Amino acid sequence: MIKTSNRLLCKSAVRSQRTAKGADLMETPGTILKREREQQGISLKEIASITRIPTSALRNIEEDRFDLFPAEVFAKGFLRNYARELSISTDDVMLAYNALRHQQRRQDLIEIPIRSQEMPRKRAPEAIRSLVLSSPKADHDNASVPPVDSSQKTFRFAYLVVFLVVATSLGLSILFTGTGEAEENGKHKMRPVVEGEAEKGSRWLMPDQTLTSVPAPTEAWSRPAFPADDEGK
């Protein structure tokens, strides 16, 4: 049982190798179309004018540069139209196209691990450089040169703004206090003083003057005697 299973595995491996070699030896769709076009003596411009396919696209097809097309649908459509114009079986051309794309995908899968292994090697000098920069000696060298910090400039500007605001507020407070005292002094500069309820007039006193009492008028002054009054009596 073990021997038969080993034989079957060997046969399947040989078959897979043969199919892989056949796929590698298979002609590409671009090679098939270019050879047939040259045998018929048709130029790319003639094919482009008939199929309405751009000349650059036809050239990319013959060079098997299908990755330059925006999508795989365009490549397949151009291949079918090109093969029909040359009277070639579209199935054979599409079979060659699928085999080529399968081979390209397989190569891409093989190249991806190789690239991932090469990337750390390329980044090794950067890692060494970061270790050197993080060493104490590098820190000491960097400490000797003071870095230019933008936060210091911002702090100085903020300090200047605060100083200007405080100075302006102090100046305004002093100005308003001075004007208030001047108004109060102006109000008390002239004071009306009325002496007695009987006095109808009033006078103004200056701040440096003293108030003196005026004697009340006597009856003799208030009621003077006239000759007319004596005759009537």
Report all structural domains of the chain as residue ranges with CATH numbers, in order of start.
15-123 (1.10.260.40)
Q: What is the pLDDT of residues 66-86, one digit of tens each?
A: 989 988 899 999 999 999 999
pTM (whole model) above 0.85: no
Q: What integer pLDDT is reported at residue 20 of this predicted model?
A: 42
pLDDT band for position 212 (50/70/90)? Answer: low
Q: Which of 143, 147, 146, 123 is nearest to 135 (CA)?
A: 143
Question: Given this model, what pLDDT does residue 92 score?
Answer: 92
State the pLDDT confidence band at 144, using cuts at 50, 70 and 90.
low
Q: What per-residue confidence (pLDDT) applies to 3?
A: 47
Q: Chain-wide mean pLDDT for the chain?
A: 69
pLDDT beyond 50 at 194: no
- pLDDT reading at 143 higher than 60: no
Q: Which of 89-93, 98-102, 140-144, 159-163 has the lowest mean pLDDT?
A: 140-144
pLDDT of amino acid 210: 52
What's the pLDDT tens digit per position in 45-71?
999 999 999 999 999 999 999 989 988
- Two structure tokens written together for 185: 């002094």
The CA–CA distances, whole Å, from 195 to 32, 218, 221 equal 135, 16, 18
Confidence band, pLDDT 50/70/90 cuts, at residue 15: very low
Whole-number CA gyration radius for the chain:
58
Is residue 218 over pLDDT 80? no
* Closest alpha carbon to 45 in 35, 31, 58: 58
Q: How many CB atoms lie within 10 A of CB 37?
A: 20
Q: Give the residue among 105, 100, 104, 54 at the shortest CA–CA distance from 77.
A: 54
